[in-house]
């Protein structure tokens, strides 16, 4: 992100004159004044001064050291930077949300300069907008939609079908054959009419019976050939399109697995599911039924046009007369069709996401007696899908007859002109029949092509949505030289700063060393940054500043697969997959033996209750493990963590949602589990951290205290206050 | 989202303006709602150009928040001290003298800076991004939007609020009259 904009020439001269050689360290734009109007301003920072330029004039100047406590305050839809001058808070500048991240840096810069330090602050954030045209980049990309060299959606699909190219060549050959046979048939019909049915009118010799039989057999052979080619074509296109659908499904699914948590957090599950299943199905249908047919139709259309013009160019000209009208008409409605289908899809997506939400949370809906409301909401959404679908279909239903009508005009003209030639005996009836058949082929193709915008719109939307996922770059990727390493579990965090929005750090300048085998308790008020520390340690996110080392190796240089296979996690809300208990325990290590599974279950205090189930380890846990109690699910999760023999263990409120008796069982299990492993445990109930070697106390993203329980109690800081508060609460509860 | 995807609070965090450590939100001493009346609070302009408030127990910088910023703009104003501890709530600004209302509005309009779109000069969709060039009550502005489903907010009075990719907001009072070309892609969200 640019923190040092170049000033326009005039302003540059003006400022240089004022600065007398002093260097501009940072120069940020600001675009609002205190009256709430947009302005063209610059916020210039030198070593000693702040200079504000507004609409080409110097607006104000401040001495940095005269102020203190500089703050970039986010308002709801704008921001302001202020400082305390002579004990009074003064606003220096207002800006829109576009510049909020820049002024978060400016705050740090000014506070460092105010205390006489020389800031070395550089932004690691990317610009969100194209420097050429100012438009926003496409989400999570550096692609400007305006400046993009436009690769069509169908071009992208061509890349995916490449491995099965030979199947498409076979399809093409079959289509050529099909078109050839179809074009030949009217010629045979003409011979039969002119020579057998109406020989006198055409002035030709009547056919002998064997020749007639030959022609009839020829028609039968043509029909048979068309049918056989059709069967062959269907086989090959089905094979090709199902391969394509499989590849697309695999690509989207793999991409979803690769994408970072931050992207997945923004997506609705139903929406992603649609892309993997429904959109890929739609593309398959398009390739199987439409795209292949389109090739056939194009060949036939060209063949028919050539045949018509070779035969009688005047009649051919009449036949093609409606084509420009149809093309203009279809072109005109294409955009509207595209929009209507996209809107329909958006509403369908909303409906599916809602359904997904409600079905996942059905227990909450029922517990609060909100069934009626859920039904009402669903009905509203379903109604709006119905409205849009009806609107689209009505439009479509009007479009097709209109096109048909346009094409009948051409047909009428051919009939009139052809019949007049027959009457003048300049054309035989057979020839007119042959010509009319070709013309009907032509109109059939045109009608088919008139429907193409609808099919293409549907498929293009599906393809766009699939590639929206495929084109995303995961934020956390393996470095080129990433290594697989067997880790011991020494953790070192050096000056780590991180924010979900980089300009709002949640963890600030955190430095801590943890030895392997140590158990560390992580405590602090909610929002203090505990979970974020764990997210960073698990490399669900990368730190914005600073580094995390595992056994001296930078976490970024460890391959994710290898690193994550050596981490075990037990969360407050345990997620079990639909399947048996055995499958769930084996989840992270599918090759584990039965012995290993039982031993893990025993360590987790789970073996006894599992055995008591009628189906033992083969008990199905239900979706998300709903058939088990919270404590049971938790212990299975512990067994799952034990099985991988993790070197680093993360416990996030592992016993927060269970009763005291179960908690004891789980605590016992955890005690066995953490032995010899580096353990980081978040707990609100501080008594659960009695086994911790050291306690990390987080406060507003910073490491406030770090030491043993005894040392921290003696210190009488935040930890002491938390412990005393909980003791008081326990005493009250005991009453 | 499943709980295994991540831990802790979502990236969004607290509403803007309420997450700064220096202005940490304090825990109110009482759970009762304290309604502020003209006789127990007076607003004034500070030397630094901000709004100050004087009550029986407090005299200093004030921070004003709309509790229902979309639909009850002039009612239920949360008044907070410099540390963002709530001093009380103004149920209806209208009961205050005009000069006090102006002071409050001046501060609120800065916090909730939402210019009104008066004319759409250009609006087009490009690969899922929506580019706008508009005239607003604050001047001409170009901005980009994404994901209209989540960034077109409806107000109860029929107006809509557009949120651009940076989080800046723009209000359109009479959509059908003002939106022009933008109706092409906007109508589905109306």
Instruction: Kindly state whether B33 is in contact with chain A, defined as any CB-CB distance less than 8 angstroms.
Output: no
Task: Find chain A residues with C-beta within 8 A of B141's C-beta.
Answer: 38
Q: Phi-psi bin for A203: left (phi > 0), alpha (psi -120 to 50), beta?
A: left
* Nearest by CB: B17 against A34, A74, A530: A74
Would you say the C-alpha torsion B172, B176, B177, B180 has a positive or negative sign? positive
Tokens of B169: 């907001």
Tokens of A275: 């892309």
ipTM, two decimals: 0.83
CA angle B94–B96–B102, rounded 5-degree value:
85
Question: H helices of B6-161, where?
Answer: 98-111, 148-151
Most B-contacting residue of A30, A69, A74, A77 (CB-CB within 10 A), to test interface: A77
CB A85 within 8 A of CB A69: no
The 3-state secondary structure of A283-334, one letter per residue: HHHHHHHHHHHHHHHHHHHHHHHHHHHHHCHHHHHHHHCHHHHHHHHHHHHH
For residue A424, the distance in angstroms to the closest alpha carbon of chain B comes to 56
* Nearest by CB: B6 against A38, A129, A261: A261
Instruction: Kindly state whether A78 is in contact with chain B, defined as any CB-CB distance less than 8 angstroms.
Output: yes
Task: Find chain A residues with C-beta within 8 A of B185's C-beta.
Answer: 339
Residues 70-89 of B with CB under 8 A from A: none
Interface A:B, Cβ pairs < 8 A = 165
Token pair 């009763």 is at which residue?
A659
CB A576 within 8 A of CB A637: yes
Question: Which residue numbers in chain A have pLDDT < 70?
Answer: 122-126, 138-157, 198-207, 258-272, 274-275, 277, 453-454, 457-458, 461, 468, 471-475, 502-503, 573, 623-626, 654-660, 730-735
A494-510 burial: b if 16+ Cβ within 10 Å, else e: bebbbbbbbbbbbbbeb
Token pair 């006894």 is at which residue?
A608
Tokens of A111: 């506070």
Q: Would the CB atoms of A97 and B168 count as touching at under 8 Å?
A: yes
| Sequence-ordered strand ranges (E) for A355-506 | 491-498
> How far apart are the C-alpha atoms of B97 and B8, rounded to whole Å?
45
Torsion, CA A415, CA A416, CA A417, CA A421, rounded to 10? 90
The 3-state secondary structure of A449-491, one letter per residue: HHHHHHHHHHHHHHHHHHHHHHCCCCCCCCCCCCECCCCCCCE
For residue A501, the distance in angstroms to the closest alpha carbon of chain B comes to 7
Instruction: Kindly state whether B68 is in contact with chain A, defined as any CB-CB distance less than 8 angstroms.
Output: no
> How far apart are the C-alpha atoms of A452 and A439, rounded to whole Å?
20
Chain A CA closest to residue B126: A145
Measuring CA to CA, which residue among A152, A136, A156 is closest to residue A144?
A136
Instruction: Kindly state whether B158 is in contact with chain A, defined as any CB-CB distance less than 8 angstroms.
Output: no
* Nearest by CB: B5 against A39, A261, A343: A261
Q: Would the CB atoms of B15 and A76 count as touching at under 8 Å?
A: yes
> How far apart are the C-alpha atoms of A331 and A399, rounded to whole Å?
12
- Which DSSP letter does residue B13 get? -
Torsion, CA A152, CA A158, CA A159, CA A165, rounded to 10? -170
Token pair 């209208």 is at which residue?
B94
Beta bridge partners of A13: none
pLDDT (0 to 100) of residue A207: 65
Q: What is the pLDDT of residues A57-108, one digit of tens each?
A: 888 889 998 988 899 888 888 999 999 998 888 999 999 998 888 898 899 8
CB A335 within 8 A of CB A452: no
> How far apart are the C-alpha atoms of B78 and A721, rounded to whole Å?
30
Task: Find chain A residues with C-beta within 8 A of B9's C-beta.
Answer: 527, 531
Domain architecture of chain A: domains with CATH: 9-114 (2.30.29.30), 159-470 (1.20.1560.10), 482-566+682-735 (3.40.50.300)
Strands B160-163 and A78-85: unpaired
Tokens of A390: 């009806």
Chain A CA closest to residue B69: A76
Q: Would the CB atoms of B7 and A652 count as touching at under 8 Å?
A: yes
Tokens of A501: 């929005």
> How far apart are the C-alpha atoms of A356 and A272, rounded to whole Å?
11
For residue B40, the distance in angstroms to the closest alpha carbon of chain A comes to 24
- Which DSSP letter does residue A119 get? -
pLDDT (0 to 100) of residue A147: 62
CB B75 within 8 A of CB B93: yes
Q: Would the CB atoms of A700 and B3 count as touching at under 8 Å?
A: no
* Nearest by CB: A90 against B49, B111, B126: B49
Instruction: Kindly state whether B116 is in contact with chain A, defined as any CB-CB distance less than 8 angstroms.
Output: no
Token pair 């033996």 is at which residue?
A593
Question: Which residue numbers in chain B have pLDDT < 50?
Answer: 1-30
> How far apart are the C-alpha atoms of A107 and A3, rounded to whole Å?
12
First to last CA, chain A: 58
Containing A664, the helix (H) or strand (E) segment is helix A660-674
Instruction: Kindly state whether A128 is in contact with chain B, defined as any CB-CB distance less than 8 angstroms.
Output: yes
CB A273 within 8 A of CB A356: yes
Measuring CA to CA, which residue among A6, A54, A61 is closest to residue A30?
A54
* Nearest by CB: A136 against B12, B13, B165: B165
Order the strands of the A491-498 sheet from edge to edge.
A507-514, A491-498, A545-550, A553-554
pLDDT (0 to 100) of residue A735: 57
* Nearest by CB: A346 against B9, B114, B149: B149
For residue A668, the distance in angstroms to the closest alpha carbon of chain B comes to 24
CB A205 within 8 A of CB A199: yes
Containing A149, the helix (H) or strand (E) segment is none
* Nearest by CB: B3 against A148, A501, A575: A575
* Nearest by CB: B50 against A89, A148, A506: A89
> How far apart are the C-alpha atoms of A70 and A79, rounded to whole Å?
13
> How far apart are the C-alpha atoms of A124 and B157, rounded to whole Å?
42
> How far apart are the C-alpha atoms of A589 and A585, rounded to whole Å?
8
Instruction: Kindly state whether B180 is in contact with chain A, defined as any CB-CB distance less than 8 angstroms.
Output: no
Instruction: Kindly state whether A387 is in contact with chain B, defined as any CB-CB distance less than 8 angstroms.
Output: no
* Nearest by CB: A540 against B6, B15, B69: B6
Q: Would the CB atoms of A77 and B168 count as touching at under 8 Å?
A: yes
pLDDT (0 to 100) of residue B32: 65
Measuring CA to CA, which residue among A187, A165, A452, A458 is closest to residue A298?
A452
Q: Would the CB atoms of B128 and A139 count as touching at under 8 Å?
A: yes
Rounded to 5 degrees, what are φ and ψ at A41? -130, 160
Radius of gyration of chain A (CA): 37
Would you say the C-alpha torsion A191, A195, A201, A203 has a positive or negative sign? positive
Q: Would the CB atoms of A262 and B11 count as touching at under 8 Å?
A: yes
pLDDT (0 to 100) of residue A41: 92
Instruction: Kindly state whether A488 is in contact with chain B, defined as any CB-CB distance less than 8 angstroms.
Output: no
Most A-contacting residue of B8, B17, B109 (CB-CB within 10 A), to test interface: B8
């Amino acid at each position: 992100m640019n923190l040092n904009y170049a000033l326009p020439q005039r302003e540059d001269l003006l400022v240089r004159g004022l600065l007398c050689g002093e260097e501009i360290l940072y120069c940020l734009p600001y675009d609002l004044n205190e009256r709430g109007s947009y302005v063209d301003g610059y916020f210039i920072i030198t070593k000693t001064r702040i200079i504000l330029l507004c609409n080409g004039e110097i607006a104000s100047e401040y001495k940095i050291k005269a102020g203190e406590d500089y703050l970039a305050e986010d308002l709801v839809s704008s921001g302001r930077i202020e400082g305390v001058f002579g004990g009074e808070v003064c606003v220096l500048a207002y800006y829109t949300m576009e510049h909020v991240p820049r002024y978060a840096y400016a705050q740090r810069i000014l506070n460092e300069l105010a205390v006489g330090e020389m800031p070395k602050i550089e932004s690691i954030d990317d610009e969100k907008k194209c420097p050429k045209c100012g438009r926003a980049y496409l989400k999570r990309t550096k692609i400007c939609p305006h400046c993009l060299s436009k690769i069509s959606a169908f071009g992208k699909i061509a890349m995916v079908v490449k491995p099965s190219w030979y199947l498409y060549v076979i399809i093409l050959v079959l289509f050529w054959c099909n078109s050839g046979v179809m074009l030949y048939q009217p010629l045979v019909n003409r011979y039969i009419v002119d020579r057998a049915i109406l020989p006198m009118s055409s002035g030709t010799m009547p056919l002998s019976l064997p020749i007639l039989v030959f022609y009839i057999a020829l028609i039968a052979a043509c029909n048979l050939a068309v049918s056989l080619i059709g069967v062959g074509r269907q086989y090959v296109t089905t094979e090709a399109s199902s391969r394509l659908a499989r590849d697309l499904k695999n690509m989207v699914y793999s991409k979803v697995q690769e994408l970072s948590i931050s992207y997945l957090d923004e997506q609705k599950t139903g929406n992603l599911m649609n892309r993997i299943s429904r959109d890929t199905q739609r593309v398959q249908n398009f390739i199987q039924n439409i795209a292949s047919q389109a090739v056939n139709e194009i060949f036939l259309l060209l063949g028919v046009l050539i045949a018509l013009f070779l035969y009688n160019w005047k009649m051919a000209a009449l036949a093609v007369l409606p084509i420009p009208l149809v093309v203009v008409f279809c072109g005109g409605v294409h955009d509207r069709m595209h929009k209507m289908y996209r809107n329909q899809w958006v509403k369908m997506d909303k409906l599916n996401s809602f359904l997904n939400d409600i079905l996942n949370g059905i227990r909450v809906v029922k517990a609060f007696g909100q069934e009626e409301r859920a039904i009402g909401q669903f009905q509203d959404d379903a109604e709006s899908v119905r409205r849009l679908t009806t609107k689209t279909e009505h439009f479509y239903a009007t479009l097709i007859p209109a096109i048909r009508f346009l094409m009948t005009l051409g047909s009428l003209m051919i009939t009139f002109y052809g019949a007049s030639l027959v009457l003048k005996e300049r054309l035989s009836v057979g020839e007119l029949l042959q010509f009319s058949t070709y013309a009907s082929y032509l109109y059939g193709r045109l009608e088919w092509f008139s429907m193409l915008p609808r099919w293409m719109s549907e498929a293009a939307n599906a393809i766009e949505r699939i590639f929206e996922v495929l084109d995303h770059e995961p934020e956390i990727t393996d470095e080129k030289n990433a290594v697989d390493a067997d880790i011991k579990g020494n953790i070192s965090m050096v000056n780590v700063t991180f924010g979900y929005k980089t300009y709002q750090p949640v963890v600030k300048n955190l430095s801590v060393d943890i030895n392997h085998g140590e158990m560390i308790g992580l405590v602090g008020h909610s929002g203090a940054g505990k979970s974020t520390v764990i997210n960073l340690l698990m490399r669900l996110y990368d730190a914005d500043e600073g580094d995390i080392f595992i056994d001296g190796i930078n976490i970024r240089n460890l391959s994710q697969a290898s690193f994550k296979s050596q981490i075990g996690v037990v969360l407050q809300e345990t997620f079990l997959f639909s399947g048996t208990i055995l499958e769930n325990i084996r989840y992270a290590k599918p090759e584990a033996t039965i012995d290993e599974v039982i031993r893990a279950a025993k360590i987790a205090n789970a073996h006894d209750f599992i055995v008591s189930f009628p189906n033992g380890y083969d008990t199905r846990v239900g979706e998300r493990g709903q058939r088990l109690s919270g404590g049971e699910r938790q212990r299975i999760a512990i067994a799952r963590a034990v099985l991988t023999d993790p070197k680093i263990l993360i416990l996030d409120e592992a016993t927060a949602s269970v009763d005291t008796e179960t908690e004891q069982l789980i605590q016992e299990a955890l005690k066995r589990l953490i032995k010899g492993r580096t353990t980081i445990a978040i707990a609100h109930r501080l008594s659960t951290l009695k086994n911790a070697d050291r306690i990390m106390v987080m406060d507003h993203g910073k490491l406030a205290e770090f030491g043993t329980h005894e040392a921290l109690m003696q210190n009488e800081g935040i930890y002491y206050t938390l412990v005393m508060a909980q003791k008081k609460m326990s005493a009250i509860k005991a009453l | 989202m499943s709980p295994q995807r991540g831990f802790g609070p979502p990236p969004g965090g607290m509403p803007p303006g309420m997450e700064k450590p220096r202005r940490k939100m304090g825990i109110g001493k009482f759970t009762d709602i304290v309604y502020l009346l003209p006789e127990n609070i007076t607003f004034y302009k500070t030397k630094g150009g901000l709004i100050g408030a004087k009550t029986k127990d407090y005299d200093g910088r004030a921070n004003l928040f709309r509790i229902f910023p979309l639909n009850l703009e002039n009612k239920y104003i949360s008044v907070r001290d410099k540390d963002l501890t709530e001093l009380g709530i103004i149920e209806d600004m209208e009961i205050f003298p005009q000069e006090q209302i102006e002071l409050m509005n001046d501060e609120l309009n800065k916090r909730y800076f939402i210019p009104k779109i008066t004319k759409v000069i250009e609006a087009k969709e490009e690969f899922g991004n929506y580019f706008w060039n508009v005239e607003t009550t604050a001047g001409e502005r170009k901005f980009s939007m994404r994901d209209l489903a989540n960034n077109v907010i409806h107000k109860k009075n029929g107006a809509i609020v557009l949120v651009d990719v940076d989080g800046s907001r723009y209000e359109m009072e009479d959509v059908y009259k003002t939106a022009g070309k933008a109706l092409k892609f906007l109508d589905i969200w109306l």
